[in-house]
Structure formats: C-alpha cells, structure tokens
Amino acid sequence: MKPVFLLLPLLYLSGNGYLFWRTWQAMGALPLWCKISATVLFWVVAFGLFAAIGFRDVQMPDWMLNLMFRIGSGWMVFLLYMVLLLAVFDVARLFLPTMKNPFWYALPLTISLLFYGYINYKNVRVEKLEIKLAKCFGKETMRIVAISDVHLGYGTGHSALKGYVEKINSYNPDIIFISGDLIDNNIKPLLAAPFDKTLSDLRAPMGIYMVPGNHEYICGIDASAEFLKRTPIQLLRDSIVTLPNGIQIVGRDDNSNRHRKSLGELISNTIEAYPIIVLDHQPYQLSETDSLKVDLQLSGHTHRGQVWPLSVLVDNMYEQSHGYRKWSYSHIWVSCGLSLWGPPFRIGTNSDFAVIDLR
C-alpha cells in the first residue's frame, strides 16, 4: 500500500481530534449532556462522507445517503480551514496575550470563507478560446464546448444539471466534448430522477462525445456505459471517430484501466494530414501528447485542488494543472471542472468550461 493512503486517513483523524479538543474547550461550562450530545454529533458528521460512500449499495432511503454525503463532504473543508485558522490564532496569541479562546475567532471566519466558496462554486467561469490549427478541415470554423467533472449524483443534483444544460446550449455548440467524470460515485441517484432525459436536451448537431473518468470506474464502468446508452452521448474507450469534416476524435479509456492502449498506438491509426483531437480524463504525460503532434487535447480530473492550499499542491503535481496552454505543437485545455466532487466550495479556484472556436 502506498504511504499516502496511510498518511491521509491519519491526517484526517488527527485534524478531527485536534478540532474536537478545541471545541470541547470552547464549550466551557455547558452542562454535561450538551457536551455529550455535541460529541456524538461531531463524530457522526466527521464520518458522514465515508458512511455515505460505504453504504451506497445498501438499501436505505436516498435522501439519507444524500444528506450524509453533503454534510460529510462539506465537513472536510470546514475542518481544513478551522484547523488552519486555529493554528494561525495560536501563533497570534504569542504576540497578543489578551486574545482569548481563538475558537470563537476561527469559527465565524471559517463560515464566511465557506459562504464565499459556495457562491464562487456556483458562478461558473466560461473560458472563450480561439484556436487556429496547423491543419485544415472541411468547415471554416467549428465551435466546441468542452466540459469535464460534472459528478452527477448526490453532489450535483438534477436541478443543477438543468442549469448546466441551458448554459451549454446557449453557446450553440457544433459539438460537445465531455472529458470524464460525468457521473459521481453511485449510479443509483441518476436512476431516481430524469437525469438521462435532461442530458438528452443537450444540443450539438455534430454530436456529443465522452471518455470515462476514474469516477465512471468507481461507480462501475459497465453501469455507467449502460446509463449513457439512454442519452445521445457517445462513450469512447480507446476508440477513434472521424467527423464528416475530417477531424479525428481519439477517445482514451481512463487510466483506471491499466490495460488501456497507449496514446502512440491510438495515434498510429489516424491520418496525419487531418486534425487530431484527444480526449483523456487525466492530464498525464502531456509532453508525449505534444511530441505525437496531437492538435488539441481536452482533459479534466485535477479540479485544481478545489480549495487553497490544495491548489498549490495540485499545481506542483501536474505539468499543466488547469487552463489553456499552447505547447510546442499541441493546444491543451485542462478544465478545473464544471462542478465538483464532494464539498461544494471553490476557494482560490473556479468552476469552468471552455467554448472553443476552432479555425
């Protein structure tokens, strides 16, 4: 087992233990029954997300799983900022000895940050790009809407999806590309509401193409593929589609499939004279993409960490963690995600999708 898979649970438990201790101190002279009730509530919330994921295949009310997921995932960001702010105020007390009980300073600041993060998450940034390719294709221009990481399910519900569909359609795309993680951890909530019908409202005369992400594998790649058959979305897994205008779409299976074809193997089945667009959920080995003369690659997955300071870590993990970049040959776009996994907050990052006019 990789050390990181042991370190992360340890950090999470340690953070919760520290916050619980500071919360207990802040409760001061409250009656014992209040403290016991708060203790039970604290630890139920702290492990709510893990319970929602662990019980996803158990027969229990959908609203209960939804509630556990939303509260439990939100708690993770609340915990992060409470611990960081408590540490900052503890240092400040060394220079300001009159400051009493930093808990009551950290709490309102954390709540304010989360409120800002929720509003920022809901305000999707639309990146408008004009990309001129070195190769010609049959139409003078083609408008692409490129999205990724919608995470439909308990986190991104049906009403949110309807808003996304309306916004995407308002840009009148010729074609829509989805770079994975359309579905979240569980297929069950997608069958309990008309997600498939709403996805069928997407309008793109040249088609809607998608590659799987790691979350399509988490909730079951076969179940994900079966659900997508109920929509106009065409799932590509190590396959190539050639559009009437000559553009070749290379859809890579997710890195979760350790037996997927290499990019070089897929590119060898394309015609070099015509543009090549690669859809690959996880933006690894981008220098290889560039060396293989891929014209455009669309990816996602990173979320850019969703919140600071995780964004700093993610920026150092990837050659290109977010946004648009022109490499020596290839144009590459890495989405921060139209929506989110887990906690509904964006602090230091943005929800986004790209509108690309290809020339």
Tell me: the pLDDT tens digits for 209-240?
Answer: 999 999 999 999 999 999 999 999 999 999 99
Which position has the higher pLDDT, 223 or 62?
A: 223
Last residue of a domain, one of 94, 121, 148: 121
Task: Please give the tally of structural domains in the chain.
Answer: 2
Whether 320 and 286 have beta carbons less than 8 Å apart is answered as yes
Q: Compute the average pLDDT of residues 142-151.
A: 98
202 and 304, same structural domain? yes
Structural domain containing residue 33: 3-121
152 and 93, same structural domain? no
- Check residue 216 and give its pLDDT: 97
Whether 295 and 248 have beta carbons less than 8 Å apart is answered as no
Last residue of a domain, one of 64, 91, 121: 121
On the question of pLDDT at 1 being above 60, the answer is: no
- Lowest-pLDDT range, 134-138, 181-185, 288-292? 134-138
Query: What residue type is assigned to position 96 of the chain?
Result: L
- HSE-CB for 162 with a 13 A CA cutoff: 6
CA–CA distance, 280 with 271 (Å, rounded to integer)? 19
212 and 251, same structural domain? yes
174 and 43, same structural domain? no
What band does 333 get if pLDDT is binned at 50, 70 and 90? very high
Q: Mean pLDDT of all residues in the chain?
A: 93
161 and 35, same structural domain? no
115 and 204, same structural domain? no
195 and 102, same structural domain? no
Peptide bond into 309 cis (omega under 30): yes
Whether 253 and 227 have beta carbons less than 8 Å apart is answered as no
CA–CA distance, 66 with 274 (Å, rounded to integer)? 46
DSSP β-ladder status, 276-279 and 142-147: unpaired
The tokens of 84 are what?
Answer: 């960081």
Tell me: the pLDDT tens digits for 20-49?
Answer: 999 999 898 889 999 999 999 999 999 988
Tell me: the pLDDT tens digits for 88-114?
Answer: 998 988 888 877 888 999 999 999 999
Say how many Å lie between the first and final Cα of the chain, rounded. 47
114 and 182, same structural domain? no
CA–CA distance, 168 with 182 (Å, rounded to integer)? 14
- Check residue 185 and give its pLDDT: 87
206 and 292, same structural domain? yes
- HSE-CB for 155 with a 13 A CA cutoff: 28
* CATH (domain of 314): 3.60.21.10
The tokens of 196 are what?
Answer: 């498939």
319 and 183, same structural domain? yes
Considering the chain, what percentage of its residues have pLDDT values greater than 90? 80
On the question of pLDDT at 272 being above 60, the answer is: yes
Query: What residue type is assigned to position 106 of the chain?
Result: A
- Check residue 3 and give its pLDDT: 61
Last residue of a domain, one of 64, 86, 121: 121
Considering the chain, what percentage of its residues have pLDDT values greater than 70? 98
153 and 206, same structural domain? yes
Whether 261 and 249 have beta carbons less than 8 Å apart is answered as no
As a three-state string, the secondary structure of the chain is: CCHHHHHHHHHHHHHHHHHHHHHHHHCCCCCHHHHHHHHHHHHHHHCHHHHHHHCCCCCCCHHHHHHHHHHHHHHHHHHHHHHHHHHHHHHHHHHCCCCCCCHHHHHHHHHHHHHHHHHHHHCCEEEEEEECCCCCCCCCCEEEEEECCCCECCCECHHHHHHHHHHHHCCCCCEEEECCCCECCCCHHHHCCCHHHHHCCCCCCCCEEECCCHHHHHCCHHHHHHHHCCCCEEECCCEEEECCCCCEEEECCCCCCCCCCCHHHHHCCCCCCCCEEEECCCCCCHHHHHHCCCCEEEECCCHHHCECCHHHHHHCCCCCCCEEEECCCCEEEECCCCCCCCCCCCECCCCEEEEEEEC
- Check residue 139 and give its pLDDT: 75
CA–CA distance, 281 with 148 (Å, rounded to integer)? 8
What band does 4 get if pLDDT is binned at 50, 70 and 90? low
- Check residue 94 and give its pLDDT: 83
84 and 153, same structural domain? no
What band does 59 get if pLDDT is binned at 50, 70 and 90? confident
